[in-house]
Amino acid sequence: MQDKESVLKTIRDHQTDIRKLGVKRLGLFGSFVRGKQNVSSDLDFAVELEPKTFDSYMNLKHYLEDLFGCRVDLVLFSAIKPRLKTRILQDLVDAA
């Protein structure tokens, strides 16, 4: 089972390809950051994309799901709901 450090290393190892998908910033948050992941956990990422299009969002989501072999929840930094923002930003670890 993966942990926070292995996820971050994988992102760093694939950073060139991730940047080509329009990623300006990518942060990991959620159960993996808190060390509470289990075999059915998804990966939670916050992202800043340029261009910010549906296609660039979906291309990144599919790329990350293929890379990690699990479900990925992807949220745009600009779309984080105010009631969740504080918790997400407290957990957030910059990945790319």
Q: What whole-number percentage of the chain has pLDDT above 90?
A: 85
Between 7 and 96, residue with greater pLDDT? 7
Tens digit of each residue's pLDDT (9 = 90 or more) over 25-72: 999 999 999 999 998 899 999 999 998 899 999 999 999 999 999 999
User: Does the pLDDT value for residue 1 go beyond 80?
Assistant: no
Residues assigned a catalytic role: 42, 44
Residue 3 vs residues 31, 46, 59, 73, 96: alpha-carbon distances, Å? 10, 18, 24, 16, 17
Q: What is the three-class DSSP state of 2?
A: coil
The total number of structural domains in the chain stands at 1
Model confidence at 96, pLDDT cuts 50, 70, 90, reads confident
Say which CATH number the domain at 59 has.
3.30.460.10
pTM of the model: 0.91
Which structural domain range is residue 14 located in?
4-94
